Amino acid sequence: MKRLELAIESIILASRWLLVVFYLGLGVALAIYALSFGKKLYEFITVAFTLGDTDTILKMLGLIDAALVASLVVMVIISGYENFVSRFDDHDGGVHWLGTIDVGSLKVKVASTIVAISSIHLLQVFLNSSSYTTQQLMWLTIIHLAFVLSALMLAYIDRLMGLSKGKKGEEG
């Protein structure tokens, strides 16, 4: 019976390697998104000197938004692989936070990045507010506030979990 248990546990542990397909897929998606970013950047460069201040800011916010999304994808790929699949071997140019982000911290970082992306989108909307109805502006603001509240709650829960881990360590 112990042999069967060990075999099942080995299969379950080996199944984590299926996640590699998802992380590689995200890498491919990131490469495609980089091409899309390049296209947006080229379009911005070609019209940069003919745009007004507001349109220039809107274009730059779009580029910042894309950079934040790309950073979010990289964060999920690296920390997800590190947390769920396998530790990275030493590599030159390694990322300093590699191996220091647990699942709770990753959730907080992802939520914070989503709030930043939402903030940029909302700023773009407000700079172009004449294209939106009052009701659309209200709902976009409510949705953004929901993201902010969610991020704050995740950070609070992560902090509580950290405190409870600290107390357990003191008791032992």
How distant, in Å, are the alpha carbons of 38, 56, 58, 61, 117 from that of 108?
29, 31, 27, 23, 14
Instruction: List pLDDT tens digits, range 59-85.
Output: 999 899 899 889 889 888 888 888 788
Q: Single out the residue of 98, 91, 90, 81 nearest to residue 27, CA to CA.
A: 81
Q: Bigger pLDDT: 172 or 135?
A: 135
Question: How confident is the model at residue 157, as a pLDDT?
Answer: 85
Residue 146: how many CB atoms within 10 A of its CB? 11
Residue 158's contacts (CB-CB under 8 Å, 6 or more residues apart) are: 104, 105, 107, 108
Question: How confident is the model at residue 138, as a pLDDT?
Answer: 94
Instruction: List pLDDT tens digits, range 86-122.
Output: 877 666 666 655 556 666 777 778 888 888 888 988 9
How distant, in Å, are the alpha carbons of 54, 62, 113 from that of 122?
14, 11, 14
For residue 88, the 8-state DSSP code is: P
- How many DSSP H helices and E strands does the chain contain? 5, 0
Question: How confident is the model at residue 139, as a pLDDT?
Answer: 94
Residue 68 CA, chain-centre distance (Å), reads 8
pTM above 0.85, yes or no: no
Question: How confident is the model at residue 156, as a pLDDT?
Answer: 87
- Please state, rounded to an integer, the average pLDDT across all residues of the chain: 85
